[in-house]
Amino acid sequence: MLPWARRTIVEEEQWLSSEEFSAMLGICQIVPGPNVTNLAVCVGSRFCGVTGAIAAVLGLSLGPICIVILLALLYNHFRDLESVRGILRGISAVGVGLIASTGFKMLKDEFHYPPSLLVVVVVMIAASFFHLGLGWVVLIASPVALFLAWHKAKR
């Protein structure tokens, strides 16, 4: 969705310059929550304040919500068909792979400063091995993350 957002906002409509868009995207990836609606808040409020933010979020999510509800209705009808079960199993296996690959793509950039991989390891151990709650994981890992980020930025 993000490449498409960049094309519309920067290239076609020219609402924002490319630098401005990248800066906003950077912020939206720092803060928690759904990246896409966070971006909508940034872009919307840049032009019309609170109203713009609300309009952007609604515009972005209403259509997809309706579509997904329609899909859910279909699912309720056909969920017991063997072929539908198979299709959903196939898609969820791909979906897991897609999520992992977003992580791996971002991981590639971190190899320029290998110590920061430590944060990734700490997070993974805390979350996947010790099964700590997400709040705890963030709390434990952020001091390490900030310390290493400070070292990386200092270079």
Instruction: Please report, as residue ranges, which positions from 67 to 96 form the binding site for other proteins (by CB under 8 A).
Output: 67-69, 71-72, 75, 79, 82-83, 86-96
CB 24 within 8 A of CB 16: yes
Instruction: Indicate which single residue of 18, 64, 77, 111 sits in contact with other proteins (rule: CB under 8 A).
Output: 64
DSSP 115: G
8 touches other proteins by CB under 8 A: no
Q: How far is the CB of 35 from other proteins (least distance, A)?
A: 5
Q: Which of 30, 29, 27, 22 is nearest to 3 (CA)?
A: 22
Q: How far apart are the first and last CA of the chain?
A: 34
Residue tagged 């800066």 (tokens): 23
Radius of gyration over every alpha carbon of the chain, rounded to an integer in angstroms: 20
Q: Which of residues 95-124 bind other proteins (CB under 8 A)?
A: 95-107, 109-110, 116, 119-124
16 touches other proteins by CB under 8 A: no
10 touches other proteins by CB under 8 A: no
Q: How many CB atoms lie within 10 A of CB 33?
A: 9
9 touches other proteins by CB under 8 A: no
Q: Which of residues 33-62 bind other proteins (CB under 8 A)?
A: 33-38, 41-42, 45, 50, 53, 57, 60-61
